[in-house]
Chains A and B, each alone.
Chain A
Amino acid sequence: MWRDALLVAGKDLRIERRSRVATAQVLPFAVLVLALFAFALDTDGRILRISAPGLFWIAVLLASMLAAQRSFAVEVDDRGLDGMRLSGLDPAGIFLGKAGAVAIELLVLEGLLLIGTALLYDSPLRGSGAVLLIVTCVLATAGLASVGAIYGALSAGLRGRETLLPLLYLPVTAPVLLTGAKAMEAAMGVTPGLQVGEGWPWVRLLGVFAVLYVAFGVLAFGALVEET
């Protein structure tokens, strides 16, 4: 399974490196979302600063949807998923590979968006919250990438998949948005009096969601690709 996952992730990352869709389209889109929030709320810098964690995760959420869509668009073009099934790849390995490649792209994106958030929303990161912030990003990314891989595969063979994916994706990832934003709020210290330690319960909850999404993908991906 792990060997198959590495193979698929390597293939996807190579395709992204060549096509530059992530850097030329997904990243600018996410930065644009952050900038639009800044324009919309700039009359009150305090609101913008307090809202920064939630706005950050909304930008990540929307960008992750594009990344997931792109990840399966390359499979739809010439029936790549069928090709992988015919090769005898472990479906769990395909899932982990696809999700892993999306996760790596998202982690890079989140690093850049954190800088953008600090600059645009005047919400500097505090050193004491660094570990909490990193763990939050890793767990949330695992959850988002997993849901993206599950629904990306599910909708890949369907007509109207461009509009179907957001309908499926956004409700299921809402817990990640909520817990991620709460944990990040504590990590960044944007709310007066909120301590870093108060973010860990949210991280634990985020971890539960992430584990559930990953486990569901590992167990169900085979049935999903065989049925679609």
Chain B
Amino acid sequence: MSAPVISFEGVVALLGRFPALSGIDLRIDRGEIVLLRGANGSGKTTVLRACAGLVPITHGLARVLDTPLPARSTVLRTLRRRIGLLGHAGFLYEDLTVEENVRFAVRAAGLDGASVSEALTRLGLDGRLRTQSVVSLSAGQRRRTALAPILARRPELWLLDEPHAGLDAESRDLLDGLLRDVVRGGATVVFASHELDRAEAVATRTIALGGGHAVTAEPADPSRPGSAQPASPQPASAHPESVVARVA
């Protein structure tokens, strides 16, 4: 059995003095599309940010892509280049064009930018939009622009916070198709969403986070049209009991 992509055992993470995660256990394997669900403040965003080393882990055992967290700065930099995180923010600069933003993020990750055009085209950001300043974009276009560097970088682990937010129906279909393709290519996707119908249709497993309660891990319903299947030889449904989280 291969090592999990994400493994948390009793992980505690603080936001200031507030314990945003208090003893969370979870395991996510390669090739899964995992939906994190839960009420506002349940810790979904914190889990995603903790995986990228953006939230300090104070207790517990955490491993992401075989890298123990917390890690030294140089190790963290290497890990982050293997991760694509889409947060509530898009990490965009309003005075730069769509292409300039994407090219900067891709070159910042140490790549040459050859995959930028392909990513822009895949996300419907080619043509006139490509040279448009981000400040003039709609919310949905901004969201797709924020996704483009991740797609161009092709990370092993995609961490997406509310990726469907602000997208129109066509863009949502495009995103769902993209996530399935990404997983078929060997990557792993973990995303948080409140739009459960849409999100559960694409997820292979759901992890529910809740304040101080044990949570459930539900395998995808294979009968649901469009439901993705994990690419991993270790299906998510084989270890639902492995996911137990308590979140403050």
Contacts and interface: CB of A to CB of B under 8 A. Distances in A.
Interface in A1-47: 4, 7-8, 11, 14-15, 18-19
A79 B73 contact: no
Nearest to B134: A78
Contacts of A85: 54, 80
Interface in A67-106: 74, 77-80, 82-91
B133 interface: yes
A88 B89 contact: no
B93 A11 contact: yes
A162 interface: no
A131 to B, nearest CB: 37
A78 B73 contact: no
B77 interface: yes
| Residue with the greatest number of chain B CB neighbours at <10 A, chosen from A77, A85, A87, A222 | A87
A226 interface: yes
B95 interface: yes
B133 A18 contact: yes
A227 to B, nearest CB: 9
Contacts of B73: 91, 222, 226
Given A7-B107, A79-B87, A222-B73, A88 B81 contact: yes
Contact of A87 (B81, B89, B100, B133): B81
Contacts of A14: 95-96, 100
A89 B76 CA distance: 11
Contacts, number: 72
Interface in A114-138: none
A74 B95 contact: yes
Contact of A84 (B83, B108, B110, B133): B108
Contacts of B104: 7, 11
Interface residues of B, number: 26
A132 B9 CA distance: 62
Interface string B5-41: 0000000000000000000000000000000000000
Contact of B77 (A77, A78, A90): A90
A219 to B, nearest CB: 11
B92 A88 contact: no
A88 B94 CA distance: 22
Contact of B91 (A19, A83, A222): A83
A12 to B, nearest CB: 9
A4 B104 CA distance: 10
B177 interface: no
Contacts of B107: 7
A15 B91 contact: no
A90 B73 CA distance: 9
Interface string B60-90: 0000000000000100011011010101011
A32 to B, nearest CB: 25
B109 interface: yes
B10 to A, nearest CB: 23
B108 A4 contact: yes
Given A11-B93, A77-B94, 17 more contacts: A7-B108, A14-B95, A18-B95, A18-B96, A77-B93, A78-B89, A78-B93, A79-B87, A79-B89, A82-B87, A83-B91, A86-B91, A87-B108, A88-B81, A89-B77, A89-B108, A226-B73
15 contacts: A7-B108, A11-B93, A15-B93, A18-B95, A78-B91, A80-B93, A82-B54, A82-B89, A83-B91, A83-B105, A85-B54, A85-B80, A86-B83, A88-B78, A88-B81
